[in-house]
């Protein structure tokens, strides 16, 4: 069975600073996808970024980037130039054969 | 595209009543998923469909829960009879398989907050 671990229940960062959220996973699969989803107070689950396991290059979406270490089974999210609107719960997720497995989430608070 | 549409957004009902949650996936998507989110258990996959056919319902908690997908643009999740422990946020998500790979990006609806008194 696949597991996803987010070891940081809560984090705080000042506006304009950079923050990194950690995620590790466990799987015996060789082909899979990894995602970060954001859930603001509105509850909407919003896709932030996605990484395909067979791609060496780390995914980047504007201020969001990942550090994907396949051998270490690590998939961290870096948010640069943090904005107040980044305040949310962030979930790391693993997908294979259509099924998503989520971590427990990291609550990120961006402060002035 | 309108995205995944769910209704109602909020539902308050009394124990023992039947509850029906509705979902319209993104047009052209061939996978549809139902999730439940609670503080205690986080996000759980309940069931998913491919081309309107249920593929895996191992996450459905018990026989009180049932899901259908009569066509490519509509799915329902029904709870009968409802119990207070069913109170949660229920999400519907859809995705599109590409190049024969089933695992692809899931897009979520806004969720239905269910409260069973």
Closest chain A C-alpha to B29 CA, distance in angstroms? 13
Supply the DSSP symbol for B86.
G
What pLDDT, on the 0 to 100 scale, is given for residue B47?
Answer: 96
Which of A47, A91, A98 is closest, CB to CB, to B102? A98
List chain B residues with pLDDT less than 70.
1, 98-103
Interface residue A91 vs chain B (CB under 8 A): yes
Question: Which residues does chain B have within 8 Å of residue A102's beta carbon, measured at their own beta carbons?
Answer: 42-43
Q: Does B104 contact chain A (CB < 8 Å)?
A: yes
Best interface-test mutation with B: which of A43, A48, A61, A95 has the largest number of B CBs within 10 A? A43
A45 touches chain B (CB under 8 A): yes
pLDDT score recorded for residue B101: 54
Residue A14 has pLDDT above 80, yes or no: yes
Which phi and psi angles does B84 have, rounded to 5°? Answer: -55, -35
Kindly state the percentage of chain A with pLDDT values over 70: 100
pLDDT at A98 (0 to 100): 75
Q: Is the pLDDT confidence value at A69 over 80?
A: yes
Residue pLDDT, tens place only, A31-64:
889 999 999 999 999 999 999 888 889 999 999 9
Mean pLDDT of A17-25: 97
The neighbouring-strand residues paired with B24 are B5
pLDDT of B97 reads: 80
Phi first, then psi: what are they for B109, rounded to 5°? -80, 180
Cβ–Cβ below 8 Å for B103 and A98:
yes
Coil/strand/helix, residue A86:
helix
Contact status, residue B117 vs residue B48, Cβ threshold 8 Å: no
């Amino acid at each position: 069975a696949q597991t996803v671990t987010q070891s940081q229940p809560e984090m705080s960062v000042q506006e304009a600073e950079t923050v990194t959220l950690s995620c590790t996973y466990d799987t015996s699969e060789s082909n899979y996808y990894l995602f970060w989803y954001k859930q603001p107070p509105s509850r909407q689950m919003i896709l932030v970024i996605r990484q395909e396991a067979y791609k060496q290059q780390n995914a980047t979406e504007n201020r969001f980037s990942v550090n994907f270490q396949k051998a270490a089974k690590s998939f961290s999210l870096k948010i640069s130039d943090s904005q107040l609107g980044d305040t949310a719960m962030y979930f790391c997720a693993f997908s294979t054969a259509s099924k998503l497995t989520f971590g427990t989430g990291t609550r990120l608070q961006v402060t002035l | 595209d309108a995205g995944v549409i769910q209704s109602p957004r909020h539902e308050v009902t009394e124990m023992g009543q039947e509850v029906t949650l509705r979902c319209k996936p993104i047009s052209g998507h061939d996978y549809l998923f139902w999730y439940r989110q609670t503080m205690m258990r986080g996000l759980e996959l309940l069931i998913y469909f491919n081309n309107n056919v249920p593929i895996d319902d191992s996450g459905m908690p018990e026989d009180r829960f049932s899901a259908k997908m009569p066509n490519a643009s509509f799915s329902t999740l029904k709870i009968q009879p409802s119990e207070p422990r069913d109170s949660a946020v229920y999400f519907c998500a859809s995705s599109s398989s590409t190049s024969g790979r089933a695992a692809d990006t899931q897009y979520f609806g806004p969720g239905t907050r269910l409260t069973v008194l």
